[in-house]
């Protein structure tokens, strides 16, 4: 340890050395010392929780050319390299020691070889640059939910983004003392060309679950570099599995019911299925839009938003559909735009923003004009389809007052939603926790869209919308969710929603605003305010309750014809879904709990009994007789 302190004293200024040594944590000191020796930075900056230190990150991002100031105070724009615009799934791997096993569904590599490879890419990667040593918290500080984290990076853009997305953690490290229980992240953007990572062939994101450590090299895109986001989610899922809590890919929001009542919901939705728009419903309040930790406290299931900011896709964000976010994106507050177009007067522009777009400007491809193509002849759009915004949730006018409550919020309901053209009705409540986890969460599918994958309507299995981030065998993950509510007297009710049901002509049966009604009906159900109709797969709303909700909240008339079309029980489609998903488990998940197959069999039996009584398509009015 003396050698570690000696190295730190040699490489750090007196001020930064004092900041680091004030945290009495040998494991953290060793991590920083090793990173310095490995990456060879010209200088090291230790970031505390002070406003001046956080401001240094912002200023450095502009000074180094990673962010460009825009026309509104506090707004900047960052460009990732043309081939560095998304999470690199192929090169995101778990480092597994001999004898370790996660299952064939999870991408992994030999730990010894992987560490040697990524460290070779990190060797002297910070030469001539300043290393940034930052401390953040996952979850509110001083809480049972808190996980302290240290991020080492040479990208001020990454550090600046994390200062927006996460709560400060320097003081939290003081409180944990010498505890080794924290997450570690080391990242270098590598050699740069036009301020972006050059050696994309050496882009690696390697995750060591045993050491709670993530390596990231030769990339700037947030999903590969902002360690506390989806990279930390993988570490947290593994940690939660060992400790008996849950780390989920879920929004958290407050649904506002009668007489000022607020009921909190968490929800898991695959990409492009309405997750963010649900968390931002008009008249409701947002706790978080992406990641939640769930713990049992005093016989209740409580949860927190891991983050305090949003790193959201900006495409189609406009004043009509997303008024709260749009207002923040046009107000003086701290916002980082990424991969949008900078037009005249340093204004940001993006696809679907609801106003006329310029014909020229600067975007991720450099100088841009309408009709510009890349080396393969593909048109380069105004902004990238994965262009983002990064902002603080407290800068939104619908921020929930319990965002930072160290006790979290008590969950009244959990919602699973996917893009489904012909099976699930718009909203349905599961009969109980077990069926909710299995039939709503573990059977979650979503259809691809032509805009993103070129072929529309292909159903993709996505276990609880968390499949991309699981760090434990899939069967164990299902079992953990099933067991989680065992000693909870009144666990949250579980619902499915589907905003993408179509008629035979291909038209959507739901309006974009209708999701507010489905969530408010769920709020009433959680509090026992309305009855429901029983179907083979769960409870659905009665017509009169929905008609009132549509009138009171959307000022629209909800017809019986709409109700029948949306809430008809589709026997064949539900049976086909069970068959598809069961096939996935039998072929891909050898450790599937038997209760999943038993539950599928029971639901299949109920569907066939309903078919014998009512036919293949059952009107909800038939169920009320």
Q: Which two tokens stand for residue 439?
A: 């039939």
Residue 574, SS3 per DSSP: helix
Per residue, the 3-state secondary structure of 81-103, as one string, reads: CCCCCCCCCCCEEEEECCCCCCC
d(CA 23, CA 454): 52
Residue 74, SS3 per DSSP: coil
Enter the DSSP assignment of 555.
Answer: -
- Whole-angstrom CA distances from 147 to 140, 375, 513 are 9, 44, 37
C-alpha 158, offset from chain centre: 17
Enter the DSSP assignment of 554.
Answer: H
Q: Where are the alpha helices (DSSP H) in 385-489?
A: 433-435, 450-453, 474-484
Cβ atoms 214, 94 nearer than 8 A: no
Decide if 303 is catalytic.
Answer: no
- Whole-angstrom CA distances from 235 to 111, 239, 536, 540 are 16, 6, 38, 37
Residue 199, SS3 per DSSP: coil
CA dihedral 171, 176, 177, 179 (to 10 degrees): -140
Rounded to 5 degrees, φ, ψ at 423 are -120, -70
What are the residues whose beta carbons fall under 8 Å from the beta carbon of 298, sequence distance 6 or more?
A: none
Catalytic residue chosen out of the listed positions 47, 77, 134, 273: 273
- Give catalytic residues, as residue numbers: 273
């Amino acid at each position: 340890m003396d050698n570690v302190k000696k190295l730190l004293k040699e490489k750090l200024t007196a001020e930064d050395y004092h900041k680091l040594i004030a945290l009495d944590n040998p494991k953290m000191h060793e991590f920083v010392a090793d990173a310095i020796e490995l990456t060879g930075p010209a200088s090291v900056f230790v970031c505390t929780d002070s406003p001046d230190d956080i401001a240094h990150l912002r200023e450095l991002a502009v000074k180094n050319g990673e962010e460009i100031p825009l026309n509104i105070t506090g707004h900047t724009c960052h460009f990732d390299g043309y081939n560095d615009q998304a999470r690199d799934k192929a090169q995101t791997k778990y480092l597994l020691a001999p004898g370790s096993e996660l299952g064939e569904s999870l991408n992994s590599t030999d730990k010894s070889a992987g560490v040697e490879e990524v460290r070779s890419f990190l060797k002297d990667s910070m030469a001539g640059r300043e290393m940034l040593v930052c401390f953040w918290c996952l979850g509110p500080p001083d809480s049972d939910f808190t996980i302290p984290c240290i991020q080492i990076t040479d990208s001020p853009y990454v550090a600046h983004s994390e200062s927006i997305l996460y709560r400060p953690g320097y003081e939290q490290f003081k409180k944990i003392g010498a505890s080794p229980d924290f997450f570690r992240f080391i990242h270098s953007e590598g050699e740069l060309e036009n301020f972006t990572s050059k050696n994309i062939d050496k882009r690696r994101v390697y995750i060591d679950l045993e050491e709670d450590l993530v390596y990231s090299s030769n990339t700037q895109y947030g999903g590969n570099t902002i360690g506390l986001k989806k990279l930390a989610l993988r570490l947290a899922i593994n940690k939660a599995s060992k400790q008996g809590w849950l780390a989920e890919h879920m929004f958290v929001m407050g649904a506002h019911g009668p007489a000022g009542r607020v009921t909190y919901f968490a929800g898991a939705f695959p990409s492009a299925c309405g997750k963010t728009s649900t968390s931002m419903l008009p008249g409701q309040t947002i706790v978080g839009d992406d990641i939640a930790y769930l713990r049992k406290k005093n016989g209740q299931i409580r949860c927190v938003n891991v983050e305090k900011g949003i790193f959201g896709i900006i495409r189609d964000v406009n004043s009509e559909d997303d008024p709260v976010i749009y207002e923040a994106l046009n107000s003086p507050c701290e916002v980082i735009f990424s991969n949008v177009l900078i037009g005249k007067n340093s204004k940001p522009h993006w696809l679907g923003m609801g106003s006329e777009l310029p014909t020229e400007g600067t975007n991720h491809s450099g100088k841009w004009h309408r009709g510009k193509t890349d080396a393969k002849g593909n048109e380069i759009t105004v902004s990238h389809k994965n262009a983002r915004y990064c902002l603080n949730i407290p800068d939104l006018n619908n921020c929930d007052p319990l965002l930072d409550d160290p006790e979290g919020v008590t969950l009244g309901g959990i919602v699973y939603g996917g893009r489904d053209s012909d099976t699930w009705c718009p909203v349905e409540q599961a009969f109980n926790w077990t069926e909710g986890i299995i039939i709503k969460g573990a059977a979650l599918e979503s259809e691809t869209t032509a805009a993103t994958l070129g072929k529309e309507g292909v159903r993709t299995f996505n276990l609880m919308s968390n499949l991309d981030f699981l760090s434990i065998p899939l069967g164990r993950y299902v079992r953990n969710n099933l067991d989680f509510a065992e000693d909870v007297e009144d666990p949250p009710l579980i619902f499915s929603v589907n905003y993408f049901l179509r008629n035979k002509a291909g038209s959507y049966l739901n309006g974009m605003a209708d999701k507010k009604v489905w969530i408010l009906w769920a709020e009433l159900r959680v509090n026992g305010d309305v009855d429901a109709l029983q179907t083979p797969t769960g409870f659905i709303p009665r017509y009169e309750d929905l008609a009132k909700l549509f009138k009171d909240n959307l000022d629209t008339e909800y017809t019986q014809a709409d109700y029948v079309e949306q809430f008809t029980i589709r026997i064949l489609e539900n049976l086909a879904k069970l068959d598809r998903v069961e096939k996935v488990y039998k072929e891909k998940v050898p450790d599937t709990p038997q209760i999943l197959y038993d539950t599928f069999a029971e639901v299949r039996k109920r569907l066939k009994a309903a078919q014998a009584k009512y036919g293949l398509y059952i009107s909800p009015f038939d169920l009320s007789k």
